[in-house]
Chain A
Amino acid sequence: MAEIARTSPLAGRFVGRPHVTVAPAPPATRLAVRAPATSRGALARALKVDLFDGRQIRTVGPRMSLPLGPDEWLVIDEEGADLAAICRDVDALHSAVDVSHRNVGILVSGIAAEAVLNAGCPRDLSLAAFPVGRAARTILGKVEIVLVRTQPQAFRVEVWRSFSDYAFSLLEEATRDPGF
C-alpha cells in the first residue's frame, strides 16, 4: 500500500550564512483562540498556559500562547498535542479553531536576523520596541505574518501555508545583502 505522508511546503529548504540562518520550524499544532475576559481563566487552566492580556507570549514546556489582539491568541504546541480536543470540554464561551496545517513556522536567527526581517517587515524590531517574548501580527512584504522574538537574535515567523514559499524566498533574498 502506498504510504501517505504530509510534506512541509518548505521541506529541504535552508539558508545558512555567516550572520543569519533561515530554516523551517519543525511541525507543530496550532490553535486560534478568541475568548472574552470572563472565559480566559477556564481556557488557560485547560490549555495549561496563560492567555495573557498583553503583548508578551507565555511559554509552558513545548506550548506557547501568543497574544494577537485584545481577545485573540495563537497557541502553538511543538510536541503536537491535540489543542482543539483540550478545549472541547471547556464550557466557558470561546472560539477555538485548529489551524495546525494552515500555518508554517520559519525560524530566523543570527546577529543579522533583525535586519533580514526588516527587509520586509515595516515594524521597529529593535530590542527596545520589540523585546524578547513579544508577539505581534504584522506584515512581511505582501503577506500577513505573526512574528515572535524568542531570543535577542532569534525570531519565529508564522505564515499561512500557501504564502510560505513567498515568505521564505523573501527572507532568503534579504540574506543576500553582502553585509550578511
Chain B
Amino acid sequence: MLLIRCPWCEEDLPELEFRHAGEAHIARPTNLASIPDADFEKFFFIRSNPKGIVFERWRHVHGCARFFNAVRDTVSDRFVTTYKAGEARPVLPAVGDTGPAAHGNVEPKKLNVRKPAARGNGK
C-alpha cells in the first residue's frame, strides 16, 4: 500500500484514506458564460495526461477531509511531494532515476514514438 503525505495532517498515511480528484492548477474562467465553446472544451475536458510528472488534486477524504495537491510520477507511481490547495506549484527537487521506465520531466511529445521516416518511393 502507498503511503501519502497529507500536508494538513503532516503525516504519511495509508492511501485508502485518500481520493484522487483530477488535475491540479486548472483555473476556472471568470467569464464562463461568454467564452466560446472551444475554450470551454479546453477548460472542462482537455487534460494534459503526460507520462511522467503530473500535478494532481487529492483529497484526504477519510481523514481531515481537506483537498491538497500532489506531484506524482505516473511511471513509478511515486509521490514526489504534496502541498496544500491554493499554494503555488513547488519548485521540484531534482527527480532522480525512479526506475528503468522513468521518464520524469520529459515533455510528452518527446516521449512519443516517432513516426517512421518516409521511405523513398517504395518501389
Give which listed residue, B1, B16, B63, B66, contacts A136 with CB less than 8 A.
B63
Taking the complex as formed, is A77 at the interface, i.e. its CB lies under 8 A from any CB of chain B? no
Q: Is the interface of B mostly helix, strand, loop or mixed?
A: loop
Interface residues of B in 54-97 (CB under 8 A from A): 62-66
- Inter-chain contact B8/A70, CB cutoff 8 Å: yes
Contacts of A138 in B (CB 8 A): 17, 62-63
- Inter-chain contact B62/A70, CB cutoff 8 Å: no
Interface residues of A in 113-146 (CB under 8 A from B): 122-123, 136-139, 144
Q: Find the B residue at minimum CB distance from A55.
A: B9
Taking the complex as formed, is A50 at the interface, i.e. its CB lies under 8 A from any CB of chain B? no
Interface residues of A in 97-121 (CB under 8 A from B): none
Taking the complex as formed, is B29 at the interface, i.e. its CB lies under 8 A from any CB of chain A? no
Taking the complex as formed, is B24 at the interface, i.e. its CB lies under 8 A from any CB of chain A? no
- Inter-chain contact A137/B63, CB cutoff 8 Å: yes
Taking the complex as formed, is B13 at the interface, i.e. its CB lies under 8 A from any CB of chain A? yes
Interface residues of B in 1-15 (CB under 8 A from A): 1, 8, 13-14
- Inter-chain contact A122/B14, CB cutoff 8 Å: yes
Q: Chain B, 43-57, contact with A by CB distance < 8 Å: what is the 0/1 string?
A: 000000000000000
Contacts of B16 in A (CB 8 A): 122, 139
- Inter-chain contact A69/B14, CB cutoff 8 Å: no
Contacts of B13 in A (CB 8 A): 123
Q: Find the A residue at minimum CB distance from B14.
A: A122
- Inter-chain contact A69/B62, CB cutoff 8 Å: no
- Inter-chain contact B8/A69, CB cutoff 8 Å: yes
A69–B16 CA distance with the chains assembled, in angstroms:
17
- Min CB gap B1→A, angstroms: 6
- Min CB gap B107→A, angstroms: 36
Give which listed residue, B8, B14, B62, B64, contacts A144 with CB less than 8 A.
B62
Can you list 7 contacts pairing A with B, beta carbon distance less than 8 Å?
Answer: A68-B65, A69-B64, A69-B65, A69-B66, A70-B66, A72-B65, A138-B17
The list of the 3 closest CB pairs from A to B, nearest first, reads A122-B14, A69-B64, A144-B62
Name B residues whose Cβ lies closer than 8 Å to a Cβ of A.
Answer: 1, 8, 13-14, 16-17, 62-66
Q: A69-B66, A137-B64 are in contact. List 13 more A-B contacts (CB 8 A).
A: A69-B8, A69-B63, A69-B64, A70-B8, A70-B64, A72-B65, A123-B17, A137-B62, A137-B63, A137-B65, A138-B63, A139-B14, A139-B17
